[in-house]
Structure 1
Amino acid sequence: MASQGVLDTDSEDEIPPGWEERVTFEGKVYYANHESKDTQWTHPLTGKKKEVKGELPYGWERKISDTGVMFFVDHVNEKTTYTDPRLAFAQEKKDSPLDFRQKFDGSSTALSVLLGRDLSGKYMIVTGASSGIGFETVRSLTLHGANVVMACRNIEKSNFCVEEIKKGNPKANVEVMYCDLAKLSTVKQFAEDYIKKDWPLHVLILNAGVFGLPYVETEDSLETTFQVNHLAQFYLTKLLTDLLVKSAPARVVVVSSESHRFTDLNKSNISASKLSPGANKYNDMKAYNMSKLCNVVFSNELNRRLRSRYVTSLSLHPGNIMSTSLQRNWWIYRLLFMIVRPFTKSMQQGAATTVLCAVSTELQGIGGMYFNNCFHCYPSEAATDPVLGDKLWNISENML
Structure 2
Amino acid sequence: MWRKKNSTERRRRFGFSSNAIETLEGVDLSGKTYAITGTTNGIGSETARALALKGAHVVMLNRNVKASQDQRDSILKEKADAQIDVIECNLSCLKSVKRAAEDFKDKKWPLHVLVLNAGVLSPAQKTTEDGLESHFGVNHVAHVLLINELLPVLRQSAPSRIVLVSSKLHYSARVPRKTTPSEKAEYLCPNESKKDFMTLYSMSKMCNVLTAFKLHRQEHANGISVYVLHPGIINTSIKRDMGVLGSLIWLAWRPFTKTLSQGAATTVYCAGSPDVEKVSGKYWEDCWDDENKLNKTARKVELQDALWDRTQQIIHSLV
Tell me the TM-score normalized by structure 1.
Answer: 0.73
Q: Deviations over 1:359-380 (max 9, x none)?
A: 2213223310011001110111
Find out whether 1:55 has 2:3 as its counterpart.
yes
> Are 1:150 and 1:176, in contact at CA under 8 Å, matched by a contact in 2?
yes
Q: Does 1:153 align with 2:49?
A: no
Give the counterpart of 1:289 among 174, 193, 202: 202
For 1:180, the aligned partner's letter is N
Q: Secondary structure at the match of 2:3?
A: coil
Q: Is the 8 A contact 1:142 1:172 kept in 2?
A: yes
Higher relative contact order (CA 8 A, sep 6+): 2
* 2: CA distance, partners of 1:343 / 1:224: 28
Q: Is the 8 A contact 1:212 1:327 kept in 2?
A: no
Aligned amino acid, residue 145 of structure 2: Y
2:265 corresponds to 1:352: yes
Report which stretch shifted further, 163-172 or 145-154. 163-172
Matched, 1:173 2:83: yes
- Contact 1:210-1:326 within 8 A present in 2 as well: no
- CA contact 2:57–2:83 (8 Å) conserved in 1: yes
2:116 is equivalent to residue 206 of structure 1? yes
- TM-superposition CA deviations, 1:65-91 (whole Å, max 9, x none): xxxxxxxxxxxxxxxxxxxxx23xx41
Report the alpha carbon displacement of residue 186 of structure 1 after superposing the two structures with TM: 0.4
Match for residue 319 of structure 1 among 212, 232, 235: 232
- Deviation of 1:162 after TM superposition, in Å, equals 1.1
Q: What CA deviation, in whole Å up to 9, does each residue of 1:322-376 have, x standing for no partner? A: 3227843533224433664465211111111001111221322331001100111
What residue is the counterpart of 2:137 in the other structure? 227
Q: Does 1:275 align with 2:189?
A: yes
More helix as a share of residues: 2
**Contact residue 132 and residue 325 of structure 1 kept, 8 A:** no
CA distance in structure 2 between the partners assigned to 1:393 and 1:172 by the alignment: 36
Task: State the Cα distance separating 1:163 from its structure 2 match.
Answer: 1.5
Q: Is 2:304 the counterpart of 1:389?
A: yes
Letter paired with 1:393: W
Q: In 2, are the aligned partners of 1:307 and 1:367 still within 8 Å (CA)?
A: yes
State the Cα deviation string for residues 25-45 of structure 1 (Å, max 9, x = none).
Answer: xxxxxxxxxxxxxxxxxxxxx
In structure 1, distance between residues paired with 2:74 and 2:158 = 31
In 2, the alpha carbon distance for the partners of 1:384 and 1:142 equals 34
Is 1:133–1:324's contact at 8 Å kept on the other side of the alignment?
no
Alignment of 1:228-247 (within 5 A): 228-247=138-157
Larger Rg: 1 or 2? 1
Q: Does the aligned pair in 2 maintain the 1:125–1:150 contact within 8 Å?
A: yes
Aligned pairs, number: 309
CA RMSD, 1 decimal: 1.9
- The letter for the 2-side match of 1:276 is P
> Could you tell me how far apart the structure 2 residues matched to 1:143 and 1:125 are?
15
* Same amino acid, percent of matched pairs: 38
Could you tell me whether the CA contact under 8 Å between 2:235 and 2:259 is conserved in 1? Answer: yes
| Structure-2 change in CA distance of 1:213 and 1:177 (3 Å) | farther
Q: Tell me which residue corresponds to 1:301.
A: 214
How many Å separate the matches in 1 of 2:85 and 2:239? 23
Per mean C-alpha deviation after superposition, the further-off stretch among 302-311 and 312-321 is 312-321
CA distance in 1, matches of 2:25, 2:131: 45
Residues 368 and 277 of structure 1: CA distance in aligned 2, closer, same or farther (over 3 Å): same
| TM value normalised by structure 2 | 0.91
CA contact (8 A) 1:155 1:178 kept: yes
2:32 maps to what in 1?
A: 122
Task: State the 1:240 CA deviation.
Answer: 0.4
Any stretches of 5+ residues in structure 2 without a counterpart?
A: none
User: 1:327 and 1:292, CA in 2 relative to 1: closer, same or farther beyond 3 A?
Assistant: farther
Q: Describe the SS at the equivalent of 1:188.
A: helix
